[in-house]
C-alpha cells in the first residue's frame, strides 16, 4: 500500500490568482485539478493514501496582505477534502510567510495559522518552501517559527521554489528550452537543506521531522563534498565537523517524487537512514508516462517506508488501517 507524500492540489481560485500574478515559469502550464480526477489517479496507481499540499510558488506571488486569508482558504479546503475522504487523504498546511522589508508578515501571524491548522483542522504537518524573498530556511529570521514547530513536534515538508519573485530563465540550446523547475528545483532543495544544517536548525530543533522533496535534490550526491570541503576550508559553523554535517544530513526524510530512476534512486536509498525514503508522485505536474516508469522502477524495491510513515503520520495511518 503506497502512501504518496508529494501530491499537490490546485484550487481553481488559487490558479487564477497565480496566472494573474504573471509569475508562472516559462513552459509551465498549471494542470487542471479536480477531486474526481485526483481519486482516479490514486486508484489507477494503487495508491492507498496521499497527503495534499499546495505546490510552488505557494503564496509568494501574492501581496503580503492577501497571504494570510488565502492560506486560511487553502487549508480549510484541504481539511474539507480530508473530512470527506478520511482514509484517502491527509494534508500539509500552507503558512503565510513574507520576510520582505516592505511587505513583511509578522511571524505571530504565521504561527497563528500553524496552530489553527494543527489544532482545529487536524493538519498532518506543514509545507515550507525552500526560500522566501531570498532567505533560505536556515536563516535566523525563521528561528521563531522553528521554535514553535519544534514545540509541536511538527512534520515539515520542504518543497523547492525559485529564490526570487520571478523564476530563472529556461536553459536554451539547439532550439530546445528546458523549464527552470526541471533543472533548478533540485539545487534549491539542496541549498535549503544545507542552510538548515549550517544554520544549526537540525541541531537545535530535533523534534521537527523534515521531508525533502525529489530525493533531497542533489544532497545525497554532494553532501560529502560540502561536508569535507567545508570543514577543511573552515566555513562550517564553529565546531561542526564533516562527520556531524553528514549525520545531520541523514536525519532528513526523502521523497522519491521524480527521482525513482536508475542511479538516482539507489543513491538516495544508500544515503538515507533506514525507513526514511518515502514514495511521492508530484501529481498533477508529473506526466502519466513518468509515473508509470517510476512505478515500474520501484517494483521489487524495499523502501521500508512503513516505519517512517507511522512515525510521521500516526493519525492518517490509523485511519488507513481501519479501512483495511
Per-residue confidence (pLDDT) for residue 175, from 0 to 100? 65
Per-residue confidence (pLDDT) for residue 303, from 0 to 100? 85
Per-residue confidence (pLDDT) for residue 236, from 0 to 100? 93
The partner residues of 210 in beta bridges, in order of sequence, read 156
Domain, as residue range, for 244: 2-323
Per-residue confidence (pLDDT) for residue 324, from 0 to 100? 56
Separation CA 138–CA 94 (nearest Å): 19
- The CATH number of whichever domain residue 152 belongs to comes to 3.20.20.140
Which of 67, 105, 74, 70 has the alpha carbon at shortest distance from 91? 74
Per-residue confidence (pLDDT) for residue 258, from 0 to 100? 96
**3 state SS of 290:** helix
DSSP 27-81: T--PPP--HHHHHHHHHHTTEEEEEEE--TTTTTTS-HHHHHHHHHHHHHHHHHH
Note down pLDDT in tens along the chain; length 324 residues. Answer: 789 999 999 999 899 888 888 777 666 778 899 999 999 999 999 999 999 999 988 998 888 888 999 999 999 999 999 999 999 999 999 999 998 755 688 899 999 999 999 999 999 999 999 999 899 999 999 999 999 999 999 999 999 998 876 666 667 666 677 877 888 999 999 999 999 999 999 999 999 999 999 999 999 999 999 999 999 999 999 889 999 999 999 999 999 999 999 999 999 999 999 999 999 999 999 988 999 999 999 988 888 888 899 999 999 999 888 865
Per-residue confidence (pLDDT) for residue 103, from 0 to 100? 67
Domain count, the chain: 1
Per-residue confidence (pLDDT) for residue 176, from 0 to 100? 73
Amino acid at each position: 500500500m503506497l502512501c504518496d507524500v508529494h501530491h499537490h492540489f490546485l484550487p481553481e481560485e488559487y490558479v487564477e490568482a497565480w496566472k494573474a500574478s504573471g509569475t508562472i515559469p516559462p513552459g509551465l502550464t498549471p494542470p487542471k485539478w479536480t477531486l474526481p480526477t485526483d481519486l482516479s489517479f490514486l486508484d489507477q496507481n494503487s495508491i492507498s493514501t496521499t497527503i495534499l499540499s499546495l505546490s510552488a510558488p505557494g503564496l509568494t506571488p501574492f501581496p503580503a496582505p492577501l497571504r494570510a486569508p488565502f492560506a486560511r482558504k487553502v487549508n480549510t479546503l484541504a481539511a474539507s477534502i480530508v473530512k470527506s475522504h478520511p482514509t484517502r487523504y491527509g494534508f500539509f498546511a500552507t503558512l503565510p510567510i513574507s520576510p520582505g522589508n516592505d511587505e513583511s508578515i509578522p511571524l505571530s501571524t504565521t504561527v497563528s495559522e500553524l496552530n489553527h491548522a494543527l489544532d482545529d483542522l487536524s493538519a498532518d504537518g506543514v509545507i515550507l518552501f525552500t526560500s522566501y524573498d531570498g532567505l533560505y530556511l536556515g536563516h535566523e529570521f525563521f528561528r521563531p517559527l522553528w521554535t514553535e514547530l519544534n514545540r509541536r513536534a511538527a512534520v515539515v515538508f520542504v518543497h523547492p521554489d525559485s529564490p526570487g519573485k520571478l523564476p530563472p530563465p529556461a536553459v536554451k540550446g539547439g532550439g530546445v528550452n528546458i523549464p527552470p523547475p526541471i533543472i533548478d528545483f533540485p539545487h534549491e532543495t539542496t541549498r535549503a537543506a544545507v542552510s538548515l544544517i549550517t544554520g544549526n536548525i537540525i541541531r537545535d530543533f530535533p523534534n521537527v521531522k523534515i521531508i525533502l522533496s525529489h530525493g533531497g535534490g542533489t544532497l545525497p550526491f554532494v553532501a560529502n563534498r560540502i561536508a569535507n570541503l567545508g570543514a577543511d576550508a573552515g566555513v562550517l559553523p564553529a565546531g561542526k565537523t564533516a562527520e556531524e554535517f553528514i549525520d545531520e544530513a541523514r536525519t532528513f526524510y526523502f521523497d522519491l517524487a521524480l527521482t525513482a530512476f536508475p542511479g538516482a534512486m539507489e543513491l538516495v536509498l544508500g544515503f538515507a537512514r533506514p525507513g526514511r525514503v518515502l514514495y511521492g508522485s508530484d501529481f498533477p505536474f508529473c506526466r502519466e508516462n513518468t509515473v508509470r516508469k517510476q512505478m515500474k522502477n520501484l517494483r521489487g524495491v524495499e523502501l521500508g517506508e512503513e516505519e517512517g510513515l507511522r512515525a510521521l503520520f500516526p493519525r492518517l495511518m490509523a485511519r488507513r488501517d481501519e479501512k483495511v
